[in-house]
Amino acid sequence: MQASTPHWAHVLITGASSGIGRALALAVAGPGVTLHIGGRDATRLAATAADCAAAGATVRPQAADVRDAAAMAGWIANCGRLDLVIANAGISAGTGGETEPPAQARAIFETNVTGVLNTALPAIAAMAAQEPGPDGLRGRVAVIASIAAFVAVPWSPAYCASKAAVQGWAEALDATERRRGIRLHAVCPGYIRTPMTARNSFPMPLLMEPETAARRTLASIAAGRTRIAYPWPLYAVARLVGALPPGLRAALFTMTPAKGRLPGVG
């Protein structure tokens, strides 16, 4: 664990088998930390677990599909104390320049919205029943949204809408849950170098390494920020473009390349 990484003793992260989730797991891993990590790919999840254990953490990997509400509730209820839960698992796809296939839109919402609820709701219920920790909080839930939450890109309708949904949900809920000692954080990263963005054939301004994103995310959670959006120049552009009239925004985006569709869908 890096000296600057904030310390939470009991942490759960979904989608820890790859990318940002794996980087978050490695950043919190250390002696005295119990780390519950989820993902569907058992081999990649085991690799993250081994690396986190080598850093001194007690690791409890769980093959968990975030779309399965009952399985997620059962897993989270059996974890014991949870100081920090990060609902990170997500999928991303664009239209390829055409209309988004209905099956793709449903798949994105099921993972990025329902999957986040399937993680955050049982976590909040478990935290409400536990005593406050040394920081005076019962627990923190961070939702990995995206800077895409702030711009309805015509080439990524379901992805942008799914991220807007969880960003808005986490921020609104933070206002009421903090009254009973539970904080929510909406994490909105720009482009991060992971397998998700490796498929992008277009330029990705201010592309960031997952380790940098993880450190930044954890430091901002520890600082108590409700909205964690970075890098700021990309966030500023997203807010500006997002504020344009929809017709003008759509016309602008016809001049930009589209992300590809989900493989095997539509």
Ligand X SMILES: NC(=O)c1ccc[n+]([C@@H]2O[C@H](COP(=O)([O-])OP(=O)(O)OC[C@H]3O[C@@H](n4cnc5c(N)ncnc54)[C@H](OP(=O)(O)O)[C@@H]3O)[C@@H](O)[C@H]2O)c1
C-beta closer to ligand X: residue 38 or 181? 38
Q: Which stretch binds ligand X (CB under 6 A): 54-62, 86-94, 97-105, 242-250?
A: 86-94
Q: What is the DSSP letter of 76?
A: H
How far apart are CB 112 and ligand X at their closest, in Å?
6
The single residue among 47, 91, 152, 222 that binds ligand X, judged by CB under 6 A, is 91
Catalytic residue among 159, 191, 230, 235: 159
Q: Which two tokens stand for residue 88?
A: 């990170």
C-beta closer to ligand X: residue 138 or 162? 162
Do 149 and 163 contact (CB within 8 A), yes or no? yes
- Bridge partners (DSSP) of residue 183 are 140
Rule CB under 6 A: say whether 61 interacts with ligand X.
no
Residues in contact with 253: Cβ distance below 8 Å, sequence separation at least 6, in sequence order: 153, 154, 155
Rule CB under 6 A: say whether 111 interacts with ligand X.
yes
| Cα atoms in the Cβ-side hemisphere of radius 13 Å centred on 211 | 5
How far apart are CB 227 and ligand X at their closest, in Å?
14
| Burial group, residue 99, by CB count within 10 angstroms (0-12, 13-18, 19+) | exposed
Among 229, 231, 237, residue whose Cα is nearest residue 209: 231
Q: Which stretch binds ligand X (CB under 6 A): 3-11, 34-42, 51-59, 246-254?
A: 34-42
What are the b/e assignments for 218-236, b being 16+ CB within 10 Å?
bebbbeeebbbbbbeebbe
The single residue among 7, 40, 81, 216 that binds ligand X, judged by CB under 6 A, is 40
Q: Which two tokens stand for residue 37?
A: 């990590």
Rule CB under 6 A: say whether 118 interacts with ligand X.
no
Query: Rounded to whole angstroms, how far apart are CA atoms 62 and 118?
Result: 15
Decide if 230 is catalytic: no
Rule CB under 6 A: say whether 216 interacts with ligand X.
no
Query: What x/- string results for residues 155 through 194 when contact with ligand X is judged by CB under 6 A?
Result: ----------------------------------x-xx-x
The single residue among 104, 146, 167, 220 that binds ligand X, judged by CB under 6 A, is 146
C-beta closer to ligand X: residue 165 or 196? 196
| Burial group, residue 44, by CB count within 10 angstroms (0-12, 13-18, 19+) | middle
Q: Are strands 10-13 and 84-87 parallel, antiparallel or unpaired?
A: parallel
Tokens 């702030």, residue? 150
Rule CB under 6 A: say whether 141 interacts with ligand X.
no
C-beta closer to ligand X: residue 9 or 69? 69
Please give the residue ranges that form the binding site for ligand X (CB under 6 A).
14-15, 17-21, 38-41, 44, 64-67, 88-92, 111, 115, 144, 146, 189, 191-192, 194-197
Would you name the residues annotated as active-site residues? 159
